[in-house]
Structure 1
């Protein structure tokens, strides 16, 4: 059905069309031209990081990051139980093994349980800033330094959370805080890693393009048209984040005393407004009938067919996934929209 209040809707109110038109009129439709580089530089500068390497998706960014760090068959990478499956898939794509750690009450990886999963094969930790909620990166970095591990931050949902790991990876999918429709970007302070990321994303071509490829690489390049949209989005990132803070505050105020609803801890940046709901499926049907789209929480990685482990029913990640959902969250939401949505939630639980 067509929802009057969809979960997500891109905000393209800046110079996106101007930049795309300029790219197309100049013949820049592949990965060549100025816009990809301008986006890389702008996003890196906004985050206070030296290097940005754009690519075709957030999943591609994670895969490139792991490969650039030399992770491959025989290695293990610590990954949260509660995350989108792309986090684990990126590890698997390299031939390494994801090792899962359950979440805490904020849905992020429980850092107090990371060390018990470290083995002699562990090479990296991949914290994920779930729904825009910053992981305890001080604790993660302390563990990484103690055990000589690399850190790849999955920041797909957390534009605005400043990176501190070896490489931070962002998604530019249509429902993300900023978007290019599809796309991703890696941020790093290390020029050697940046060079390796760029090399791997472009099929490991040599400078003379002799078609002699010395390592397995990828065609993960971003197009100039995507770069044009992404650049225009970065120019508005401060305003987008501010608008989302207002959306979070309005939802908090409208739902704080609704019986049957449990609000989640505050977010560092708002990607999606997540909550826990009693009689969740009935609530979703109620909202659906009123044109309000919702989405479920992630399923635990140990419940996924590719990583199936019978421990999953005992996990915090499973408990949260059974009653969690998120509400429409995008910068086009007005106060009246949110009053309608929170009113529909309240109606379900209280009858008015």
Structure 2
């Protein structure tokens, strides 16, 4: 049995035929930049997230950089970012000329509130949180910290399309809580394009206008405060494709939740691994990734386990093999400040992402569990002999 980590094909999906039809319209009309599908997708995605404004851009990293620039934070100020995330979260801070303050993650791999509070100084201007693996962060605590210290909140939602939390008895989506939020639509995301794509969302019309101007060479700005703009626009073809897929996002997220529940049932008896937990404050996890953690006799055996699973047709990945504090070009950067990250340092040596997505079935999960158990049995036998 072959179990791929990600299935990026869409040829067998029901929206492939309308995709071809709409693509023909785009080609016939020669409407390649800022066309009608851009406006349609921005409107629909803003409604899905529950915000007033959505600005399509070239990719998720561009979205972060533009969002940070639009906030117009004090020059040289500090932006806090969790260690356990893809390096783009930190690159965006450094590329915009701010100091990146790297802090630890908690047991759920998201930003540690304790570490966050201890890292705040008079130079801190913002918190860049990352809703990792499809789990939303502890936004109630983060909002309280931000209010107490007058800090901006930037939400990196690249792995949390549709993740939800309840605030003041209202269910809200990741991306609708902070001052500004960003999404990546890289093909592997829960809502993935067929190339690079991203967006920025915000409730603020002021920030929305500023982001749109920055992303389009700042050509339409009437602000007295001028920025140097850039070129980062959501491709019309990607916007059209994303709008088709958006209709299925809720059902796909629900399918991922069902798979995660089945993983929990099937793997719970394997004491050598730690299963992901849903924190009590989370209303809906969308399971972009299903990440286990190795313990006991499996610690130090991750590569061996991966090779064994690969030999049996099961692809796995590590998200992420090095947390930000260990990446040399980030660690040595003049604008990087690293706080203690004991959790992140331990997790990145023992985490493993198992396959999850709409291409995975319960039969696949049973097979994966059997092979993990087989590896443990073989390892135990070798140890005894």
TM range (shorter): over 0.9
Shift of residue 272, structure 1, vs aligned partner: 0.7
Alignment match of 2:155 (pick from 153, 158, 161):
153
Instruction: Go from structure 1 to structure 2 and tell me whether the alpha carbon gap of 1:7 and 1:71 turns closer, same or farther (over 3 Å shift).
Output: farther
317 and 8 in structure 1: CA distance in 2 versus 1, 3 angstrom threshold: same
- In the alignment, the residues of structure 2 paired with residue 158 and residue 196 of structure 1 have an alpha-carbon distance, to the nearest angstrom, of 24
Matched, 1:339 2:366: yes
Aligned to 2:170: none
Kept in 1: contact 2:104–2:340 (CA 8 A):
no
- Structure 1 residues 103 and 33: alpha-carbon distance in aligned structure 2, compared to 1, 3 A threshold: same
- Is the Cα–Cα contact under 8 Å of residues 80 and 103 in structure 2 kept in the other structure? yes
How far apart are 1:129 and its partner, in Å?
Answer: 0.9
TM-score by length of 2: 0.84
What corresponds to 2:318 in structure 1?
296
C-alpha displacement of 1:151: 0.4
How far apart are 1:115 and its partner, in Å? 2.3
Q: Are residues 1:107 and 2:112 paired?
A: no
Q: Note if contact 1:63-1:91 (Cα within 8 Å) is conserved in structure 2.
A: yes
| Cα shift readout 1:278-315 (whole Å, capped 9, x = no counterpart) | 22111101001111111113222111112227978962
| Pair 1:104–1:237, CA change in 2 (3 A) | same
Query: Is residue 179 of structure 1 aligned with residue 184 of structure 2?
Result: no
Give the match for residue 211 of structure 1: none
The answer to whether 1:243 aligns with 2:255 is yes
Q: CA deviation at 1:16?
A: 4.8
* Separation of aligned partners in 2, 1:256 and 1:145: 40
Residues in 1 aligned to 2:162 and 2:45: alpha-carbon distance in whole angstroms: 10
Alignment TM-score, normalising by the size of structure 1:
0.92
8 Å Cα contact 2:61/2:184 also seen in 1:
yes
1:306 aligns with 2:329: yes
Match of residue 4 from structure 1? 2
Q: Distance in 2 between matches of 1:134 and 1:62?
A: 18
Structure 1 residue 164 corresponds to structure 2 residue 177: yes
Spell out, residue by residue over 1:112-161, the C-alpha distance to the aligned partner (whole angstroms, 9 max, x if none): 22122112221110111110111111111111111111100011100112
SS in 1 for 2:51: coil
Which residue number corresponds to residue 21 of structure 2? 21
The whole-number CA distance in structure 2 between the counterparts of 1:219 and 1:48 is 27
**Secondary structure at the counterpart of residue 125 of structure 1:** strand
1:288-343 CA distance string (max 9 Å, x none): 11111111132221111122279789621010000101011111111222222222
Partners of 1:322 and 1:248 lie apart in 2 by 22
Query: How many residue pairs get matched?
Result: 346
SS in 2 for 1:126: strand
Secondary structure of the residue that 1:216 maps to in structure 2?
Answer: coil
Q: Output aligned runs, 1:210-289, within 5 Å.
A: 215-266=227-278, 268-277=285-294, 278=298, 279-289=301-311
C-alpha separation in 2, matches of 1:104 and 1:30: 44
Question: In structure 2, do the counterparts of structure 1 residues 155 and 339 end up closer, same or farther at CA, with 3 Å as the change threshold?
Answer: same
Deviation at 1:20, TM superposition (A): 5.1
Give how far 1:24 is off.
3.9
- Structure 2 residue runs of 5 or longer lacking an equivalent are 164-172, 279-283, 380-385
Q: Which residue of 2 aligns with 1:190?
A: 204
Distance, in Å, in 2 between the alignment partners of 1:21 and 1:70 is 42
C-alpha separation between the residues in 2 aligned to 1:242 and 1:10? 18
